[in-house]
Amino acid sequence: MRISVTVVATDTSFPVALLARAVEDRGLHGMWLPDHTHIPICRTSPYPLGGDLPARYTRILDPFVALGAAAAVTSTLRLGTGILLVAQREPIATAKALATLDHLSGGRLRVGIGYGWNIEEMVDHGVDPASRRRRTREHALAMRCLWEDEAASFAGEHVTLSPSWQWPKPRQRPLPVFVGGAANETTFKHIAEFGHGWIPMGARGLRDGIVRLHELVADAGRDPADIEIVPFTADASHAKLDHFEAAGVRECAFELPSGPADLVLPVLDALASLSAERSLP
């Protein structure tokens, strides 16, 4: 079982470059960073995990810049967006930024994307919330064209790209795209069409979800064994890892606190110990 971390990196938390070094030095697999451009003050959208929206979400670092800083000071750590709100980002420029990150990091990037939940944030970006899933799909497909085709073009409802050149291409071919979200048909059909894996939030419905995902992937003419599952979760334990392994999961990302070094490093040490224990014969 590969153990990674996910963290809401902010301008007041443990500096992201130092964090990346600390994660890599402890032999952990990867680091995933989320995406919010802003949080509208007047908001009726409920926080998906319940309760008040944590203040750290108002201070999130831009994931592209933060991952670039992390890439510059590491050599083996896998780097990921988790979750990138691609419906709110212009796809041509986003494709360029992600390809550049993968190129400069030596092929260590994973692109976790999602549909978003903050309606007011979407509206400020000119995105009709009812269209966000269709936009996410089209943006992902258009970016795939730019990453993989020498002369890329795309024509859809929300994205139009005339035949164009764009370099650099990602080091990884294909650049792995993971779709984050609940276990539902839309998420799974999109993974089957253009994704490399699924990022479920937690363990609820995981077993049944993986079965259905594999069915849709096979229906699309692809090998379900090629699909990776990376749950984002909290409270690391052997029991939780046992549950994930029994479901066929080979990597999970545990949440780190958004705080100073003296709060973050003990959690990293505990994860490193857990990882070492799982590696024992």
**pLDDT at position 73:** 98
Helix H, strand E, coil C: the string for the chain is: CEEEEECCCECCCCCHHHHHHHHHHCCCCEEEECCCCCCCCCCCCCCCCCCCCCHHHHHECCHHHHHHHHHHCCCCCEEEEEEECHHHCCHHHHHHHHHHHHHHCCCCEEEEECCCCCHHHHHHCCCCHHHHHHHHHHHHHHHHHHHHCCCEEEECCCCEEEEECCCCCCCCCCCCEEEECCCCHHHHHHHHHHCCEEECECCCCHHHHHHHHHHHHHHCCCCHHHCEECCEECCCCHHHHHHHHHCCCCEEEEECCCCCHHHHHHHHHHHHHHHHHHCCC
Q: For 78-108, write each residue's pLDDT tens digit.
A: 999 999 999 999 999 999 999 999 999 999 9
Whole-prediction pTM: 0.96
**pLDDT at position 279:** 76
What number does CATH give the domain 14-229? 3.20.20.30
pLDDT bucket at 281, cuts 50 / 70 / 90: low
Average pLDDT, integer, range 167-173: 98
Domain boundaries, the chain: 14-229
